[in-house]
């Protein structure tokens, strides 16, 4: 089946639910067993890796519906739900790491993931080295005997570097380590991580899967070989998500294709318009032909999301504030992936350690929503008028 069909049918089982189209929301903690034999058989099934109802935290038909659908879309073996994207990132790493291990982390990683590495992992004796996201096969020079994970995020948060993941995966696997990827930007629709050598794929379902800016959700999908370690780590740390949130994520997943294609179309239109503005130094969008990673994007990705950045020409703070503060359609806020457009100032120079980032040309991250692009462009154009008035 094509992905558009999988989005509609994957994880659903009307025959087991009285013909109901959507899997019901099971509010469950305690589960009752018919007999000692029933109890023992269900736990045996669970220990064998099957989806057996034993306790609410461990899984119900509600959570399995979403997990099974995401795993099928990404091309992995199984998926695990987490209560937020950061929880998914943190506990995926934690499941595979122990004191004395070494983690190679892309220097362009999502900020909270970096903070987790700098605080929690270091406190528990895990050494973290940040590497240039454009290193490709050169990653082999940084891999040590105790390197357990090479973490990739493509494109990179805020700065949108495209990584050569197949080259990184080849060197990583030869050294006996695993590749872990944050695949939130492209979603399972526009990037198939397991076809490119990834072992564990992470998504902030909060973004495009939920799609409506109202639910926190994380998902991690693994290969069959990596799955037991991931699931054991998640269960032993008590990771779960509320059934109502899971249901909303399921509902959002069904329309992911139509939404994401529109985000892509709108995003490219706005990005192309921004390229022609005299106030703009450069536009960082992988789908644009002049993006440094465009060839890798064309080779490995099936599409683009609505998230990208631009760099403005050097300007005073007052002019930047005049541009941002009175936009009508672009909200100033964190997160992205919902139906609405967002804009945010960022300064990566404060965190980069393996790569230099000069923020002389201020970085602005945009998420292009589902509004009419003419209206969005008019809003930005009026913002540029306010900006020039302060120069």
Q: Are residues 65 and 190 in the same domain?
A: yes
What is residue 22's predicted lDDT score, i.e. its pLDDT? 84
Q: Between residues 6 and 127, which one has the greater pLDDT?
A: 127
Q: Helix, strand, coil proportions of the chain in percent (round to 5)?
A: 40, 15, 40
What is residue 210's predicted lDDT score, i.e. its pLDDT? 97
In the predicted model, is pLDDT for residue 344 greater than 90?
yes
Q: Are residues 194 and 335 in the same domain?
A: no
Domain CATH for 298: 3.90.1150.10
Report the distance separating Cα 354 and Cα 114, nearest Å. Answer: 13
The catalytically annotated residue of 3, 6, 55, 57 is 57
Domain CATH for 220: 3.40.640.10
Q: Are residues 241 and 265 in the same domain?
A: no
| 3-class DSSP state of 50 | coil
Q: Is 224 a catalytic residue?
A: no
Q: Are residues 24 and 102 in the same domain?
A: yes
Question: What is the per-residue DSSP string for 300-315?
Answer: H-S---SEEEEEEPS-
Q: Are residues 278 and 212 in the same domain?
A: no
Q: Are residues 306 and 286 in the same domain?
A: yes
Whether 81 contacts 246, CB under 8 Å: yes
Q: Are strands 363-367 and 218-222 parallel, antiparallel or unpaired?
A: unpaired
Q: Is 207 a catalytic residue?
A: yes
Q: Is 18 a catalytic residue?
A: no
Domain boundary among 234, 254, 274: 254
In the chain, % of residues over pLDDT 90? 88
Give me the chain's average pLDDT, please: 95
- pLDDT-derived band at 16, boundaries 50, 70, 90: confident
The catalytically annotated residue of 107, 164, 182, 300 is 182
In the predicted model, is pLDDT for residue 145 greater than 90?
yes
Name the residue range of residue 304's domain: 256-389
What is residue 174's predicted lDDT score, i.e. its pLDDT? 98
Q: What does the DSSP 8-state code read for residue 116? A: H
- pLDDT-derived band at 285, boundaries 50, 70, 90: very high
In the predicted model, is pLDDT for residue 17 greater than 90?
no
Q: Between residues 9 and 179, which one has the greater pLDDT?
A: 179
In the predicted model, is pLDDT for residue 157 greater than 90?
no
Q: Is 182 a catalytic residue?
A: yes
In the predicted model, is pLDDT for residue 221 greater than 90?
yes
Report the distance separating Cα 332 and Cα 324, nearest Å. Answer: 8
Average pLDDT over residues 310-329: 98
Q: Are residues 153 and 236 in the same domain?
A: yes
Plot region of 18 (φ>0 → left; ψ -120 to 50 → alpha; else → beta): left
Domain boundary among 254, 283, 303: 254
Q: Are residues 118 and 194 in the same domain?
A: yes
What is residue 348's predicted lDDT score, i.e. its pLDDT? 94
What is residue 18's predicted lDDT score, i.e. its pLDDT? 81
Q: Between residues 21 and 156, which one has the greater pLDDT?
A: 156
225-258 pLDDT, tens per residue?
Answer: 999 999 999 888 888 899 999 999 999 999 999 9
Cis, bond preceding 273 (omega within 30 deg of 0): no
Q: Are residues 234 and 95 in the same domain?
A: yes
Comparing CA positions, the residue from 107, 160, 112 lying closest to residue 308 is 160
What is residue 11's predicted lDDT score, i.e. its pLDDT? 84
What is residue 7's predicted lDDT score, i.e. its pLDDT? 87
N-to-C CA span, the chain = 55
In the predicted model, is pLDDT for residue 374 greater than 90?
yes
Q: Are residues 272 and 249 in the same domain?
A: no
The catalytically annotated residue of 114, 207, 254, 311 is 207
- pLDDT-derived band at 337, boundaries 50, 70, 90: very high
- pLDDT-derived band at 289, boundaries 50, 70, 90: very high
What is residue 380's predicted lDDT score, i.e. its pLDDT? 98
Looking at the structure of the chain, the number of domains it has is 2
Domain boundary among 190, 222, 254: 254
Q: Are residues 237 and 327 in the same domain?
A: no
Whether 237 contacts 91, CB under 8 Å: yes
What is residue 198's predicted lDDT score, i.e. its pLDDT? 98
What is residue 196's predicted lDDT score, i.e. its pLDDT? 98
Q: Are residues 267 and 204 in the same domain?
A: no
Average pLDDT over residues 103-120: 96
Sign of the CA dihedral running 272, 278, 282, 284: negative
- pLDDT-derived band at 34, boundaries 50, 70, 90: very high
81-94 pLDDT, tens per residue?
Answer: 999 999 999 999 99
Whether 200 contacts 181, CB under 8 Å: yes
In the predicted model, is pLDDT for residue 215 greater than 90?
yes
- pLDDT-derived band at 287, boundaries 50, 70, 90: very high
What is residue 382's predicted lDDT score, i.e. its pLDDT? 98
What is residue 199's predicted lDDT score, i.e. its pLDDT? 98
pTM of the entire predicted model: 0.94
75 Cβ contact list (under 8 Å, min separation 6): 188, 192, 193, 194, 195
The catalytically annotated residue of 78, 101, 110, 192 is 110
């Amino acid at each position: 089946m094509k992905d558009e069909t999988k989005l509609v049918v994957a994880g659903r089982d009307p025959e087991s639910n009285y013909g109901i189209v959507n899997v019901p929301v099971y509010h469950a903690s305690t589960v009752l067993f018919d007999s000692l034999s029933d109890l023992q058989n269900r736990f045996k099934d669970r220990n064998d890796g099957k989806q057996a109802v034993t306790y609410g935290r461990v899984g119900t038909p509600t959570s399995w519906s979403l997990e099974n659908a995401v795993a099928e879309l990404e091309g992995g073996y199984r998926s695990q739900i987490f209560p937020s994207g950061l929880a998914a990132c943190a506990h995926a790493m934690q499941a595979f790491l122990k004191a004395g291990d070494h983690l190679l982390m892309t220097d362009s990683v999502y900020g909270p993931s970096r903070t987790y590495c700098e605080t929690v992992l270091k406190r528990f004796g895990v050494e973290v080295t940040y590497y240039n996201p454009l290193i490709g096969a050169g990653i082999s020079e940084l891999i040590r005997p105790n390197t357990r994970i090479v973490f990739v995020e493509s494109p990179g948060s805020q700065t949108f570097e495209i990584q050569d993941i197949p080259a990184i995966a080849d060197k990583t696997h030869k050294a006996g380590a695993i590749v872990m990827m944050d695949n939130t930007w492209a979603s399972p629709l526009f990037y198939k991580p397991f076809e490119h050598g990834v072992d564990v794929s992470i998504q902030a379902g909060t973004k495009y899967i939920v799609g409506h800016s109202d639910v926190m959700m994380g998902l991690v999908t693994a290969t069959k070989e990596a799955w037991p370690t991931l699931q054991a780590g998640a269960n032993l740390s008590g990771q779960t998500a509320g059934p109502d949130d899971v249901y909303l994520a399921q509902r959002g997943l069904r329309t992911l294709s139509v939404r994401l294609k529109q985000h892509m179309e709108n995003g490219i239109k706005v990005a192309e318009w921004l390229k022609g503005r005299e106030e703009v130094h450069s536009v960082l969008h992988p789908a644009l032909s002049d993006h440094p990673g465009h060839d890798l994007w064309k080779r490995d990705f099936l599409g683009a999301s609505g998230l990208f950045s631009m760099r403005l020409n050097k300007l005073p703070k007052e002019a930047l504030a005049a541009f941002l503060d009175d936009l009508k359609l672009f909200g100033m806020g964190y997160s992205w992936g919902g139906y609405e457009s967002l804009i945010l100032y960022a300064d990566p120079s404060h965190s980069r350690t393996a790569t230099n980032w000069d923020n002389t040309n201020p970085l602005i991250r945009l998420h292009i929503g589902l509004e009419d692009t003419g209206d969005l462009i008019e809003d930005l154009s009026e913002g540029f008028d306010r900006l020039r008035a302060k120069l």
